[in-house]
Amino acid sequence: MTDRLNTLYSEHIATLKQRADRALAESKYDHLAVHAGAQRLQFLDDMYYPFKVNPQFKTWVPVVDNPHCWLLYTPGKKPHLLYWQPVDYWHKPADTPTGFWVEHFEITLIANPEDAKQHFPANGRTAFVGEGEENPETLVNILHWERAWKTDYELECLRRANVRAARGHRAVLKGFHDGATEYELHIDYLRATDHTEEELPYGNIIALNEHASVLHYYFHERERLDPARRHSLLIDAGAAFNGYAADVTRTYSANENDEFHDLILAMDEAQQAICDDVRPGVSYPDLHLQAHHRIADILARFNFVNLDAAAIVEKRISSFFFPHGLGHYLGLQVHDVGGFMADKSGRTIEKPEGHPYLRLTRGVEARNVFTIEPGLYFIEPLLKELAASENSGFVNWPKVDSFRKFGGIRIEDNLAVTENGSENMTRAAFNG
């Protein structure tokens, strides 16, 4: 398997060089210098915040945990990695680089962050990219634009991240049926994915019952619930491989014979139907609007709203139950860049009116990777707003009230667009 990564990585580096050559030429720079990032002290403390690497650095080098490194690139030359390895007895310095990727770089070890400057190109113009750096707009826009097309190496890393995430999700589902608390389920997930909290691509959302109505719920309650008070689980948790992120969500009922379980199955069917429509040339905003119609159909079929699906969408009632966007680009970042770009100049494509939280408006093309994550929730402040609106009379409030205890449903898969359709990396990971 390492041999396969080696081959794919060689092709990946060749693609990165071509992209960097174009970006440097069009922005009139001679060299590229990408900073991994720096450690930062916590306010009024001598402890550091967890280090998060610059994604523009880890696209070149699968090093995600070592600050103060630099990637230097000049067209026609071998990329040069300045690798920070201090003399330190307070902390463990990073090991000397090894592995399938090192042969593609000239590597220089630096003991102090300030030592990097003596290795920067002496002639011509250098584009510095990173936090607090110059970040030339023309160059960065081009790099962000082209990140939407994943290389075979990146696709393989994303598949492996999904396999890791699936292991974690299975462990959490078992813990849920065993009566574990949210905190215990979080620990189960870390063990199963072999991650520390700092290594997760984003904070785990592990929500029992009504907590699932909080879209970004990170609390991890310690209370052990009586079985009679356990109704549902929503887990939105990812994993990483070589710096690439999986982003996966599943929802479960504590009772497979109740109507909430049936609602989950209906949402899963709707989500898979949307996935089936993913192919080059479709509009992602159209997929998002399709999700609203499918969720509206469920609201009508399950007697939450006394209107047909078309009227539910027209009156924007579906937005009270599905308030977020259908998904987002995925890759080096959980919410990968470039989702609104119309072209490499940085011009943007506007979101559809009435859908302010959609994160992806760009056309769908082969080698794009994004999430498909429709949801149906019972969110207290949104339901209160709906109850005060002119559309309140269309809602079956006793039925809605009986579902508040479940919080809501979200089902999320990671799709890689192929020439004729898509590869569902998440379903493959769960079925593997």
For the residues of 111-128, what is the DSSP string, one character each?
SSGGGGGGGS-SSS-EEE
Q: Do 135 and 209 share a structural domain?
A: no
- Among 86, 120, 146, give the residue marking a domain's end: 146
Residue range 395-403: average pLDDT?
98
Q: Do 113 and 32 share a structural domain?
A: yes
Q: Could you count the other beta carbons within 10 Å of the beta carbon of residue 15?
A: 16
Q: What is the total count of domains within the chain?
A: 2
Q: 413-417 and 126-129 as β-strands: parallel, antiparallel, unpaired?
A: unpaired
Q: Give the range of the structural domain holding residue 266, as residue numbers without chain letter.
A: 152-431
Residue range 327-333: average pLDDT?
98
CA distance 432 to 427: 8
The predicted structure's pLDDT at residue 15: 98
- Among 146, 178, 206, give the residue marking a domain's end: 146
Report the CATH number at residue 218. 3.90.230.10
The predicted structure's pLDDT at residue 3: 77
Q: Could you count the other beta carbons within 10 Å of the beta carbon of residue 221?
A: 17
Residue range 328-337: average pLDDT?
98
Q: Do 248 and 135 share a structural domain?
A: no
Q: Do 302 and 166 share a structural domain?
A: yes
Q: How confident is the model at residue 1 (pLDDT cuts 50, 70, 90)?
A: low
Flag whether pLDDT at 290 surpasses 60.
Answer: yes
Q: How confident is the model at residue 120 (pLDDT cuts 50, 70, 90)?
A: very high
The predicted structure's pLDDT at residue 228: 92
Residue range 337-363: average pLDDT?
96
Structure token pair of residue 305: 């709203």
Q: Do 162 and 76 share a structural domain?
A: no
Q: Do 163 and 125 share a structural domain?
A: no
- Among 91, 117, 146, give the residue marking a domain's end: 146
Q: Do 281 and 163 share a structural domain?
A: yes
CA distance 298 to 179: 30
Q: Are 268 and 217 in contact (CB under 8 A)?
A: no
Q: How confident is the model at residue 89 (pLDDT cuts 50, 70, 90)?
A: confident
For residue 348, the 8-state DSSP code is B
CA distance 65 to 25: 31
CA distances from 346 to 17, 20, 135, 139, 146 (A): 21, 17, 14, 10, 12
Q: Are 329 and 292 in contact (CB under 8 A)?
A: no
The predicted structure's pLDDT at residue 2: 58
